[in-house]
Structure 1
Amino acid sequence: MFDNLSDKLDRAFKVLKGQGSITEINVAETMKEVRKALLDADVNYKTAKAFTDTVKEKALGMNVLTSVSPGQLMIKITNDELTALMGGQTEELELKQNPTIILIAGLNGAGKTTFSGKLANYLKTKKGKKPLLIAGDVYRPAAIEQLKVLGEQIDVPVFADLNSKDPIGIAQAGIAQAKQNGNNVIIIDTAGRLAIDEQMMNEIAAVKASTNPHEILFVVDSMTGQDAVNTAKAFNNRLDFTGAVLTKLDGDTRGGAALSIKSVVNKPIKFIGTGEKMDAIDVFYPDRMASRILGMGDVVSLVERAQMQFDEKEAAELQKKIRKNKFDFNDFLSQLNQIKKMGNIKDLMGMIPGVGKAMKDVDIDDNAFKGIEAIIQSMTNQERENPELINTSRRNRIAKGSGRDLTEVNRLLKQFEDMRKMMKMFSNPATAAKMMRNMPKMGR
């Protein structure tokens, strides 16, 4: 996510590395590089210029503390201004009405139907709502079937009328059914359309007028950069949408749309799509995104994702097992599954400060744990619970059963044993404190 932009900004700030003070010359040189980085990321020119002018003005007007280097100060100012550029504060959906009607609009191929399913899943699992999806795309035959499949996956009802080509009639009939069945959120998926297609734009405006939605979300493919912003202006002029959604942020995104939309159309980004799975949707936090763009990580989001998978009772039981040195492969497999549920592994690593840059050229497959899982699943229950029983003949059998090399099995067993020792050591507060005190000696 924004890897290229992050690299270029990092290089821009190196201009100030080793400088003892902020001067008009070194700030101008840094801002020139920052502006180039933003333009390369397909950020709107006026937005990029206004942004760098503001950062320059604030930097020259500040005194550098003795404990803070000019480079650090510049990053702090840039972080604050990036946050402001993307909206400043998080703006979630307005869900007070019953039912709340949400209209989804956007270009062809932006990911509206997939997002509609993700949004329904989010509102059901995170907000405790009872959503209904309305299949309003009457032009793409596969769209209705796609929405039905997604609805089955997340156990959310879908209203569709295969015999009608009237999106207004379908939307009204779907709303009537939702009210009858007690659905408190209605999500209307619509056909993709070009801003220059007057007939199609009139149609989406008519759907809006007839349904009177409380939220209108403009879905935009984040990889289209500045073109997406120009399209957003055209859609906003006709629909006056309440917020934007950036999809496909897990791809090679340049960042232009994320950094330009708010300043150009003055509408907040409300959600981002970060993958293909139904739970790969996040509320947009401008401050967290700014930190990630500047390579500072996003620990808050990482902790929130972990807490979603966290089971307090299970954690307490696990702690007891660690203290008694009873942590086994069943526990290890359970922890792996929890990590996998948190999302894309490389994306998670990017949330840890400093790790994102170190991992940018490393390709981490989402199936990275499959080999480990295959090895553990080839063990008997007795072997999982008592790893010390696994002798040479058992190792050979496990390797054959898992389809992995014997060296991989040996490596996993060695790493697991080392991990158990470390966990046991740190589970004892006195031992942990002693180790921390001895760290300086170890360093010497």
Structure 2
Amino acid sequence: MFENLTERLSRTLKNVSGRGRLTDDNIKDTLREVRMALLEADVALPVVREFVKRVKERAVGSEVSKSLTPGQEFIKIVQAELESVMGESNEALDLACQPPAVILMAGLQGAGKTTSVAKLGKVLKEREKKNVLVVSADVYRPAAIKQLETLASDVGIDFFPSSVEQKPVDIVSAAVAHGKLKFYDVVIVDTAGRLHVDDVMMDEIKDIHKAANPVETLFVVDAMTGQDAANTAKAFNDALPLTGVILTKVDGDARGGAALSVRYITGKPIKFLGVGEKTDALEPFHPDRVASRILGMGDVLSLIEDLERNVDKSQAEKLAKKFKEKKGFDLEDFRSQLQQMKNMGGMGGMMDKLPGMSQLPDNVKDQVDDRMFLQMEAIINSMTKGERSRPEIIKGSRKKRIATGSGTQVQDVNRLLKQFTQMQKMMKKMQKGGMKNMMRNMKGMMPGGGMFPGR
């Protein structure tokens, strides 16, 4: 997400970083570039105008701190204004009410509403320890009810049955009554989407809203529709008292216009980002962290949270114990590390959150392909237990068998073994406590330095 905007802004802000002082004249070109970058990112025109105006007012004013150069100060102002336009801080769901807290999900067809219902249910169950019930009031789309039932089963939350013969209002009333009776903490209602905003749809959802009396009414919108996402959200907000927005498919959106437009146009906060198809790919929206990512400064806090959530503690302890006992790092350990990386959204997902990654040349970024890690895992899966623990025994005929079993070439097996040997050396440096040596080794394993050779 934001790749194009990050690249353009990083290049633009470099031009102002060496200025002695900020004046109307020397920031004029930079502001024009910032404006163009935002428009190319499909940010709504009123948002661009207000953003550039506020940055200019602050930049040529008296806000330059003694501890920063004027160029650094300008970047700080841009970051603060990005945060401001997106809402400044994360606004969590407000579930403080007599249970069950009802969450109503609204949106257009194809925005990812049903998947978001399941993702949100999983977040509330696992992170908030809530007892969650989901229900579908979408009686128009074929298999919509079955889809939610399947997703609910996948994430381990309860599903309230409904059928296409029922009226949506009756379904919702029955689900909320069942939620009260069975002491559920939260009931999430999935409503029907349409291909466009129409009066019939709006009237129906108003009736559902009245019957459900939700504490949260969330608008689910596809980030890839850019500023149209903000305009659609506004149309819904005029009809319904929205409390927030879930922005989906942000992993496929290189522009980021929706994230920068929604709050300003609707006055409603973005509460979550859908960052992939998996049921755990829903992140709380933190404007400060997203602003940092847009400016190429990474998002280390989110990366740490990902680590805490997705790293298998028992596997980590097992590896730490092996290190302590000076036992070698084998291909079984290497496979375990690849799987943990996959759980965190792959190398691409991690790199998005690391500071400075936007500065990497395109040819280096292109080499970091998650498919390569899937291939590496497939190769290791094709080995015997003995081969994984003693990679040195893998010679000619074994390599051919492993390549055939994993659908790869012998040179792919050779490349994996070479990369594993480098990783093994790095782990030995860590065991000996030679952090400087280990860091030097890691640098050599970065793209372009041997770990990911050109394919």
TM-score of the pair, normalised by structure 2: 0.89
In the alignment, which residue of structure 1 is the partner of 2:450? none
Identity of aligned residues (%): 49
In the alignment, which residue of structure 2 is the partner of 1:345? 347
Q: Is the 8 A contact 1:195 1:201 kept in 2?
A: no
Q: Is the 8 A contact 1:137 1:189 kept in 2?
A: yes
In the alignment, which residue of structure 2 is the partner of 1:274? 275
Instruction: Supply the AA of the counterpart residue of 2:348.
Output: K
**Equivalences for 1:322-341 in 2 at 5 Å?**
322-323=323-324, 324-341=326-343
Q: Distance in 2 between matches of 1:50 and 1:425?
A: 53
**Equivalences for 1:43-442 in 2 at 5 Å?**
43-62=43-62, 68-97=68-97, 98-193=99-194, 196-323=197-324, 324-358=326-360, 362=366, 365-429=369-433, 431-432=434-435
Shift of 1:311: 4.0
Q: Distance in 1 between matches of 2:21 and 2:215?
A: 51
Shift of 1:195: 7.0
Structure 1 residues not aligned, in runs of 5+: 438-444
Instruction: Supply the AA of the counterpart residue of 2:435.
Output: A
Shift of 1:366: 4.0
Change (3 A) 1:397 1:194: closer
Change (3 A) 1:311 1:194: closer
Name the SS for the 2:251 alignment partner.
Answer: coil
Name the SS for the 1:16 alignment partner.
Answer: coil
Q: Deviations over 1:152-207 (max 9, x none)?
A: 22222322322534110010111122223332210100011477522221111111
Q: Distance in 1 between matches of 2:437 and 2:13?
A: 40
Change (3 A) 1:55 1:335: same
In the alignment, which residue of structure 2 is the partner of 1:442? none
Instruction: Supply the AA of the counterpart residue of 2:45.
Output: Y
Q: Distance in 1 between matches of 2:116 and 2:437?
A: 51
Q: Is the 8 A contact 2:6 2:358 kept in 1?
A: no
Q: Is the 8 A contact 1:43 1:255 kept in 2?
A: yes
Q: Is the 8 A contact 2:220 2:247 kept in 1?
A: yes
Q: Is the 8 A contact 1:221 1:228 kept in 2?
A: yes
Instruction: Supply the AA of the counterpart residue of 1:182.
Output: F
Q: Is the 8 A contact 1:164 1:170 kept in 2?
A: no
| Deviates most, 202-211 or 173-182 | 173-182
Q: Is the 8 A contact 1:15 1:30 kept in 2?
A: yes
Change (3 A) 1:147 1:317: closer
| Deviates most, 13-22 or 418-427 | 13-22
Instruction: Supply the AA of the counterpart residue of 1:57.
Output: E
Instruction: Supply the AA of the counterpart residue of 1:328.
Output: D
Change (3 A) 1:257 1:64: same
Q: Is the 8 A contact 2:139 2:164 kept in 1?
A: no
Name the SS for the 2:110 alignment partner.
Answer: coil
Q: Is the 8 A contact 2:22 2:70 kept in 1?
A: yes
In the alignment, which residue of structure 1 is the partner of 2:446? none
Instruction: Supply the AA of the counterpart residue of 1:423.
Output: M
| Deviates most, 195-204 or 113-122 | 195-204
Change (3 A) 1:194 1:397: closer
TM-score of the pair, normalised by structure 1: 0.91
Q: Distance in 2 between matches of 1:129 and 1:231?
A: 31
Q: Distance in 2 between matches of 1:384 and 1:435?
A: 23
In the alignment, which residue of structure 2 is the partner of 1:28? 28
Aligned-CA RMSD value: 2.3
Change (3 A) 1:167 1:307: same
Shift of 1:313: 4.5
Q: Is the 8 A contact 1:215 1:242 kept in 2?
A: yes
Q: Distance in 1 between matches of 2:438 and 2:375?
A: 33
